[in-house]
Amino acid sequence: MNSKDFFNLAQESLDAGKAMVSFRLPGKEAVQLLLQTSKDSFRIKDFSENGFVFSPFNTENNPLFIPENESIKTVLPFFDSSKFQLNSSEGLSENLDSKAKLAHISLVKLGIETINKTTLQKVVLSRKELQKPTISASEIFRNLLSLYPNAFVYIWFHPETGVWIGATPETLLKTERTKFSTMALAGTRKLQDFSENDWTNKEIVEQKIVTDSIISKLKELGYSSESLKVSETYTSEAGSLLHLRTDISGTINNGSAEIGAIIKALHPTPAICGLPTDKAYSFIIEHEKYDREFYSGYLGPLNMTTEIKRSSRTRNQENQAYSSIRKDSYIFVNLRCLKYKKGEVAIYVGGGITKDSEASAEWEETVNKTRTMKAAL
């Protein structure tokens, strides 16, 4: 199947009204499409399932799920961005909405005051911004594939959620055989004119809170300090933005049952909620005054079959005839995303607030984050 046929199929799948998802893993070439054959709605029970999981920020209900064995799978082996022009909508507005700006600034100020007066140390505060694109959902998806080769790029539709599209830089949990890894990603700067020692104490502290919390949650699950590998903290690019990032990895103790335990322990991390988690969560629910829905939830292929082709240079000739089948998981935090309705999209953006935050800079940061999606509209 060529790229044009693949995107026509993606658009037809969207129009069919059945659950579907198409995605490309960070740094990979293949784009996968999973189209559910029935109109049923499936939910995760214990994370031993195979398929694609889609969870909201709020985890009261079990996450939605497209089972691999209830779907038709199509793979575009290589997405060639040179085959497509970047289509764009005309008349998108840069955010000049002063009401939205005032509302976000007063929310951030309330966050800072609460941090100064209580045991809350960090809270991630967000907003949504409406835009009127004139291009289709599959065109937005295609633009994202062209623009962000190192992000997890996806388009998801489910009758219960509508269409969501995104290009996230943040892994919640990746498993390959018995190895797992996660990351602490926080602190934001524009790539333009940045030099390495520009990171301030505010951003270093904001990101360290995420690293420390992830390590402590993993220890509570029984992983010892010696068994966890923690990288140096480094600057990581996400489109035209930069973040501070620490990678944390280990070996899964109890087989596939562990995946669910790790996801439940980590989500919501202080990269999208705050610290202490319960205080930050209550603050968000009480004060954000809108429903995040699937923004800052998590999503991705869970125990999905991946065919690993053996190298043709292998010396063992017998092995050449086979490729091995693995069931790995790649779960991401749903950031840099939008909800699509014909004629209107909602772009979701947020940022970590600490005692050292400055409200107008936090507003600017959310404006910069909206540009990741706007570049594809």
Ligand X SMILES: C=C(O[C@H]1C=CC=C(C(=O)O)[C@@H]1O)C(=O)O
Q: How far is the CB of 377 from ligand X (least distance, A)?
A: 17
Question: Contact between 144 and ligand X (CB under 6 A)?
Answer: no
Integer distance in angstroms from the first to the last C-alpha of the chain?
26
Task: Please pick, from the candidates 352, 371, 376, 377, the single residue that binds ligand X as defined by CB under 6 A.
Answer: 352
Task: Please pick, from the candidates 9, 112, 124, 376, the single residue that binds ligand X as defined by CB under 6 A.
Answer: 124
Q: How far is the CB of 97 from ligand X (least distance, A)?
A: 18
- CA-CA distance, 183 to 171, in Å (whole number)? 6
Task: Please pick, from the candidates 35, 120, 186, 263, the single residue that binds ligand X as defined by CB under 6 A.
Answer: 186
Q: How far is the CB of 353 from ligand X (least distance, A)?
A: 8
Question: Contact between 175 and ligand X (CB under 6 A)?
Answer: no
Identity of the amino acid at 219: K
Q: Which is nearer to ligand X, 67 or 270 (CB)?
A: 270
Strands 64-67 and 51-55, by their bridges, are antiparallel
Q: Which is nearer to ligand X, 38 or 200 (CB)?
A: 200
Question: Contact between 339 and ligand X (CB under 6 A)?
Answer: no
Q: How far is the CB of 352 from ligand X (least distance, A)?
A: 4
What ranges in the chain are assigned the alpha helix state H?
3-15, 98-117, 137-147, 201-220, 257-266, 277-287, 317-320, 359-374
Q: Which is nearer to ligand X, 33 or 184 (CB)?
A: 184
Q: How far is the CB of 109 from ligand X (least distance, A)?
A: 16
* Stretch (H or E) spanning 124: strand 122-131
Q: Any idea how long the chain is?
A: 377
Count of alpha carbons within 13 Å of 282, Cβ hemisphere only?
6
Contacts of 28 (CB under 8 A, 6+ apart): none
DSSP result, 31-63 = EEEEEESSS--EE-SSS---EEEEE-SS-SSPP
Among 172, 174, 167, residue whose Cα is nearest residue 152: 167
Q: How far is the CB of 35 from ligand X (least distance, A)?
A: 29
Question: Contact between 209 and ligand X (CB under 6 A)?
Answer: no
Q: Which is nearer to ligand X, 144 or 185 (CB)?
A: 185
- CA-CA distance, 170 to 271, in Å (whole number)? 9
Question: Contact between 373 and ligand X (CB under 6 A)?
Answer: no
Question: Contact between 104 and ligand X (CB under 6 A)?
Answer: no
Task: Please pick, from the candidates 24, 128, 142, 243, the single residue that binds ligand X as defined by CB under 6 A.
Answer: 243
Task: Please pick, from the candidates 140, 172, 335, 345, the single residue that binds ligand X as defined by CB under 6 A.
Answer: 335
Binding span for ligand X by CB under 6 A among 21-29, 101-109, 307-315, 344-352: 344-352
CB-neighbour burial class of residue 159 (10 A; exposed 0-12, middle 13-18, buried 19+)? exposed
Question: Contact between 263 and ligand X (CB under 6 A)?
Answer: no
| Bond into 67 cis (ω within 30) | no
Identity of the amino acid at 211: T
Q: Which is nearer to ligand X, 252 or 335 (CB)?
A: 335
Binding site for ligand X (CB under 6 A): 124, 126, 170, 185-188, 243, 271-272, 335-336, 349-352, 369
